[in-house]
Structure 1
Amino acid sequence: RMAPSTEFPGNLFYAITFFGLIAFFLYSAGIRYRWFLRGQWVNRFSEPIRRGLGLIPFVLGNTRVARRKYWYSGTLHSLIFWGFVVLQVRTLNFLLNGIHEDASLQSLLGDVYTGFRPVMEVFSLLVIVGTLMAAWQRFFWRPQRMTLNIDGWIILGLIAWLMVTDIFTNSAAIALGHLDNPEFSFVAYGFAELWGGIGFTGQGLELFHVAWWYAHLVDFLVFLVYLPYSKHSHVLTIVPNVFFRSLQPSGVLQPIKDFETAESFGVGKVEQFTWKQMLDSYTCTECGRCTAACPANLTGKALSPKQIIIDIRHLMEEQVPALSPTTHRPEQPTPLIDEVGFDPIWDCVTCGACVEECPVFIEHVPTIMDMRRYLVMEESKMPETAQAVLTQLEQRGHPWRGTQLTRTTWIEEMATDGVEIPMFDGSQEYLFWVGCSGALQERNVKVTKATARLLLEAGVSFGVLGNEEGCSGDPARRLGNEYLYQMQAQGNIDVFKAKGVQKILTMCPHCFNTMEHEYPQLDGRFEVLHHSVFLEQLVAQGKLPRQVGVNGLSEKSVTYH
């Protein structure tokens, strides 16, 4: 019943191997943890109950991993993950038994542990199935989105070998008569019957047990110490990364506070990222779902959200002490922008598809935007098109270069048609925020007029600002000029408050996102509705009658974008 490590010299080997490799693991993890201490502060400790409850579906439930589109990857990952969770019981029993039999879970829990053994046998098989599925995916399927390198094979090999050594160790223990109720460990029991059937007994079987016991111990410890050096470090970081996830909508950007006292704007060095952004890089599984969903990447641009997160980790690893004297480290850290690249930073359209797809809640867009802010506000480096838009915003208050329309053109045209659009004076319930596109782009002007007619037909109390309306600030913020954004946003907020605005109807989804989710950062709190949602409410309330069959649309499925 005793493990090989409970007697000399096994106990000495066990102590040196176990405590030596655990110490090395703590060192490897510790020197990387120091990066998080160097990162900028961000508060992710609010709503701890909500954060904690989120671990159930997102970590234990694998809900973001096992999405329908990625059912194969989700299935194999779930088999391996759940197997690892369950088999931690057996691993703990193994390590405690290595100290002394009386310290093991089998000894302490008795029948409870014995009754759990069949469950662990099932999950051992499921983990093996999961690793075989992963091997097939990597060797034959080879999805373009994934990073296919030796690192993945090393981890798969260590996991599969861990299961094999576990089963063979238990089979030898059963054959030697070390386990009560051996049939509960039915996989290992089958092998034990095989050993007996071929006459494998005596000292040879003892040596067989010792060899597999130490093989299992070493494999477990090697797997552990390898994690900090592998992309599979997410095994260690996924729980904190999910717990500290952003609870805001993915389209929300955080402001630069205290412009007058800020020493720098944006992020031009790794240490200027927040600790959560650094944690993101060590949590990336390199599955590539973010890049597969990226519209910029799909159109052939250089942007790969996955690669940006990987590049940031590489820069952090570049400054971690080298283990070998032959390991090359640059004399000066590689500049962040040089590593990530100018074009990828500017290819991002901040749609947030990468953030929505990421199974481990990495926040790519804020990270990219922080580097873009640095390029704009510190270096004045940007594409000519971005420079032209920002200049247009500063000079004319909107991004549309060359338009001949004004913010009141559509109002004047409707008046010519006999339709009067009221100006907002504080007596109306809603401010109808038209936006730059709604007033200054001919295609969108048609939508603005149609919406205004529907509001009038439904008897909605609303008004517009006309020439007092400015840009919401969204283009300036997304282009990295946070200072210009805050000027425009604060100007709008001041006008809203002066006129007593409480409720806002927006045409543009960008204006909606900015006013609903980002204006509160500047103390601009209003009830904001997108016109599509509001019109749906009016139809449901019977204020706008359905015209079934008039235009043929009732028989079609329509996607609003």
Structure 2
Amino acid sequence: MTPANEFPGNIIFVLIFFGFMAFFAWSMFVRARWLFAAKPLNRLDNIFWRLAGLVPWLLGNARVTRRGYWYSGVLHSLIWWGFLILQIRTLNFLLNGIDHSISLEALVPSLYDVLRPVMDTFNILVIVGIAMAAFQRIVWKPKRMSLNIDGWMTLFFIFWLMVTDIMVNSFEFYLHPELFENPELSYVAYGFSQLWGELGMSTGTAEALNTFFWYNHLIDFLAFLAFLPYSKHSHVLVVVPQIFLRRHEPTGVMEPIKNIEEAETFGAGKLTDFNWKQLLDPFNCTECGRCTEVCPAHITGKLLSPKQYIVDIRHMLDDEIPPARFWMKKEGASNGDGEAAVPMTTSDAVGFEQTWDCVTCGACMEACPVFIEHVPTIMDVRRFMVMEQSNMPETAQATLMQLEQRGHPWRGTQLTRTTWIEEMAAEGTEVPLFDGSQEYLYWVGCSGALQERNVKVTKALVRLFLQAGVSFGVLATEEGCSGDPARRLGNEYLYQMQAKQNIELMNAKGVQKVVANCPHCYNTIKHEYPDFEGTYETVHHTELLAQLVRSGKLPAQQANGLQDKTVTYHDPCYTARHNDIIDEPRQVIAAVGSNQVEMPRCKRGTFCCGAGGGHMWVEENRGERINDVRTKEAVDTGADVIAVACPFCMQMFESGVGSVPAAAERGVQVFDIAELLDMSVAYSKPLAPNGNGGAPPAPAEPEPVAASDAPPEGEAPQPGDETTA
């Protein structure tokens, strides 16, 4: 028997319940219309993978309880698991409101009795979780979090739900003991019912309190439900589809603009230019700030906050009601002079600098507990800025012009794509040209051919391939830019033109397998070329080198001086985080005998060198330089050598060791994984009868860069202004 079972309680119950539910349904409908108006995106592939992911990520709360976030993980787990378990009691409560005979207590009493102690336990655990959350907000106050009234309201709603739930059950046991066979199993509520008896509470008082707490529980539950669509905790409503529809492809992959020649818009200038997943993401953001806490741009003093970027889009969505007016500020709004309002673009909402601060490292996406995809959203706004507004930094514009005019991004280089081949020929090493008969096409990349420091890496890798008997060839003058710089700088049209030219050439030559030492080229060829009929088995050079070492084709010699070196390996974002290439580089370092030490931020938690997202050529004008921060972290490990596996990382660390005093003082050096193995393998070869080694000598270690030779603060590490290439 509940207060809603008799007149006028039943009428009040119906009015309250359906009134709140109607408002909730309208709120959800309005938001759902945004998703249906957005661009399509197929996320219904790999169904079993998606279903399987619900177990650890949704039920297990695994991304919330990661290392470094144990406190938040524990409190959220207590509340979340309590929320799931107590849905049973909520259903029973609502059914009881209609009639006790159709409640779970009446229909399945044995099963419900089994769950009684579990639910009472979670009542207490949820309250403990709320107390922990309150302590976090009052005392700890993490800077990453948005500590606003929204959060306090949510905590109050949940806390009062727990209190009223216990109270309602206690008064039902006290007033109607004949309806329950084993009330003592609900040990918390039953304990309170016994207390009411000990206090000699009258039936009238108990009924009044029961009515008070019953309607409080009902209204609190329904008000919380109605509040959620307008709250940063709206993820409670949409987290299931959010996790189920999470990205399957690697996080570094960008969606193409399809039929670009016929496209009417480029990028995302208004809300309906986003795909539906990009509009679902803002409603899942809890503003926990984990994304911002790991963002290299934010850490080094730039304006970008991935959290705020997503929140700004949610605010833009909230401002665009009704959804028929997606891209106008408000109907009848004016600019202050009585004229119609200027259409609001996404770039207005999120900001110019914020959009260009992103280095596409994906740390934000890796850290997000609910699989929000920040980088694709930022890149689509950047596309809009470049292709529709021509709004970009001067250095980005200069780089795109260089790509259009010269086919590569490097200003000032005196090298051509065949210079290194001619130099190796002069040293007695013939580099094979790819003709379709070889197993691998070695994609050298613009940096590997046109940047002097990275040319040394290219030569070392070729020597290793030749020594191991790898069947490979290069394209030489026929190789063009992979298109990654153009795409990440927002010029999708230029990217597609470069990609299609490369694919046409590679398909004509019968390319089946590709090895690349640039992670950006690797990622583009492996994951993005298939959109344009360019499907190749693509490996990163560290993967192939590790395989050759394991097979004994590259017999590393540990008595070569490298065993006395301490090496720290920097994981490039586009191998470790975006493509999960983590163990192979470390296996190669282990083979050469060096002592390995890890930086605090390593593997999938790596910290960007600062060159991603086209920032190899875009200057940093605010805060610290990202590469200097990362270099300091590497030097602090005590390592003698910083090992890299990316030409961009190489240049950023070469700049960093010159501008970080501790690195310059200690003579810290930077080598690619291929160079370290080349030194080892070259030493391991026996001398020929004439006294000359069977392989070219190991590359001489460069002199440490003097601190005074470092580029001025804020200047990108680029060559001069003109090019002859």
**Normalised by the size of structure 2, how large is the TM-score?**
0.75
Q: How far does residue 335 in structure 1 lie from its aligned partner after superposition?
A: 2.9
In the alignment, the residues of structure 2 paired with residue 458 and residue 189 of structure 1 have an alpha-carbon distance, to the nearest angstrom, of: 76
User: What does residue 382 of structure 2 align with?
Assistant: 372
Deviation of 1:57 after TM superposition, in Å, equals 1.4
**In the alignment, what sits opposite 1:41?**
40
8 Å CA contact 2:365, 2:371 repeated in 1: yes
- Report matched runs for 1:24-423 at 5 Å: 24-178=23-177, 179-320=180-321, 331=333, 332=341, 334-423=344-433
**3-state secondary structure, aligned to 1:5:** coil
In structure 2, which of residues 591, 596, 615 is the aligned counterpart of residue 557 of structure 1?
Answer: 596
Shift of 1:440: 1.1
Deviates more, 1:533-542 or 1:423-432: 423-432
Preserved CA contact (<8 Å) 1:504 1:527: yes
Runs in 1 of length 4+ with deviation above 6 angstroms?
A: none
Q: Which residue is equivalent to 1:431?
A: 441
Q: What letter corresponds to residue 183 of structure 1 in structure 2?
A: E
Range with bigger deviation, 494-503 or 87-96 = 494-503
1:325 equivalent in structure 2: none
What is the number of equivalent residue pairs in this alignment?
555
Query: Alpha-carbon deviations, 1:150-193, whole Å to 9, x = none?
Result: 00000001001100111111112222243332210101122222
Amino acid at match of 1:428: Q
**Larger displacement relative to structure 2 (349-358 or 193-202):** 193-202
Q: Which residue number corresponds to residue 461 of structure 2?
A: 451
2:450 paired residue number: 440
Does the CA-based 8 Å contact 1:355-1:364 persist in structure 2?
yes
Point out the more displaced range, 338-347 or 417-426: 417-426
Contact 2:93 2:103 in 1 (8 A): yes
The one-letter code sitting in structure 2 at the alignment partner of 1:366 is: P
Contact 1:32–1:320 (CA<8 Å) still a contact in 2? no
**1:467 aligned to which of 472, 477, 483:** 477
Structure 2 letter corresponding to 1:252: V
How far apart, CA to CA, are the structure 2 residues paired with 1:213 and 1:497?
71
The one-letter code matched in structure 1 to 2:248 is: L
Q: Secondary structure at the match of 1:232?
A: coil
Q: Counterpart of 2:516 in structure 1: which amino acid?
A: T
CA contact 1:162–1:220 (8 Å) conserved in 2: yes
Q: 1:298 is matched by which residue type in structure 2?
A: I
TM-superposed CA distance for 1:329, in Å, is 5.5
For the residues of structure 1 that align with 2:129 and 2:229, how far apart are their CA atoms?
22
Of residues 86-95 and 551-560 in structure 1, the stretch that sits farther from structure 2 once superposed is 551-560
Counterpart AA for 2:46: E
Q: CA deviation at 1:560?
A: 4.1
2:9 counterpart residue number: 10
Aligned with 1:271: secondary structure?
A: helix
2:489 to 466, 479, 494: 479
* 1:498–1:334 CA distance, 2 compared to 1 (3 A): closer
Which residue pairs with 1:503 in the alignment? 513
Structure 2 counterpart of 1:320, which letter?
A: I
Distance 1:454 1:408 in 2: 19
Report the equivalent of 2:549.
539
Deviates further, 297-306 or 247-256 = 297-306
In 1, distance between residues paired with 2:3 and 2:459? 83
Q: Which ranges in structure 1 are unaligned for 5 or more consecutive residues?
A: 323-327
Name 2:688's counterpart in structure 1: none
Shift of 1:110: 1.3
8 Å contact from structure 2 (residues 54, 243) kept in 1: yes
Contact 1:502 1:526 in 2 (8 A): yes
Residue 490 (1) aligns with residue 500 (2): yes
Question: Which SS does the other structure have where 1:504 is aligned?
Answer: strand
SS of the counterpart of 1:69? coil
Query: How far apart are the structure 1 equivalents of 2:357 and 2:510?
Result: 39
Structure 1 residues 49-69: Cα deviation after superposition (integer angstroms, max 9, x where no partner): 222222111111111111112
Q: 1:321, CA displacement in angstroms?
A: 5.1
Between 1:401-410 and 1:549-558, the stretch displaced more is 549-558
In the alignment, the residues of structure 2 paired with residue 53 and residue 454 of structure 1 have an alpha-carbon distance, to the nearest angstrom, of: 42
CA contact (8 A) 1:168 1:188 kept: yes
Give, as a single letter, the amino acid of the residue that structure 2 aligns with 1:390.
L
Q: Which one has a larger percent helix, Structure 1 or Structure 2?
A: 1
State the secondary structure of the residue aligned to 2:388. Answer: helix
Deviation per CA, 1:410-434: give whole Å up to 9, x if none. 1111122211111112221111111
Residues 489-547 of structure 1, C-alpha deviation per residue, up to 9 Å, x if partnerless?
11111111121211111010000000000000110011111111100000000001121
State whether residues 270 and 344 of structure 2, in contact with CA within 8 Å, keep that contact through their aligned partners in structure 1.
no
RMSD: 1.5
Q: Secondary structure at the match of 2:106?
A: helix
Aligned counterparts of 1:462 and 1:321: Cα–Cα separation in 2: 59
Cα distance in 2, alignment partners of residues 470 and 524 from structure 1:
15
Match of 1:255, SS? coil
Question: AA paired with 2:438?
Answer: Q
Measure, in 2, the Cα distance between the counterparts of 1:213 and 1:498: 75
User: Identity over the aligned pairs, expressed in percent?
Assistant: 61
Counterpart of 2:651 in structure 1 is none
User: 2 CA distance for matches of 1:380 and 1:165?
Assistant: 58
Kindly indicate whether the alpha-carbon contact (under 8 Å) linking 1:424 and 1:462 is maintained by their aligned counterparts in 2.
yes
Deviations 1:89-115 (A, max 9, x none): 000000000000111000000111112
Q: For the residues of structure 2 that align with 1:41 and 1:419, how far apart are their CA atoms?
A: 52
Instruction: Quote the Cα distance in structure 2 between the aligned partners of 1:306 and 1:112.
Output: 43
Distance 1:5 1:155 in 2: 26
Secondary structure of the residue that 2:441 maps to in structure 1?
strand
Aligned letter for 1:226?
F
8 Å CA contact 1:424–1:464 kept in 2: the answer is yes
Name the CA distance, whole Å, in 2 between partners of 1:522 and 1:363.
23
Cα separation, 2, equivalents of 1:336 and 1:58: 31
The secondary structure found in structure 1 opposite 2:228 is helix
CA–CA distance in structure 1, aligned partners of residues 330 and 186 of structure 2: 49
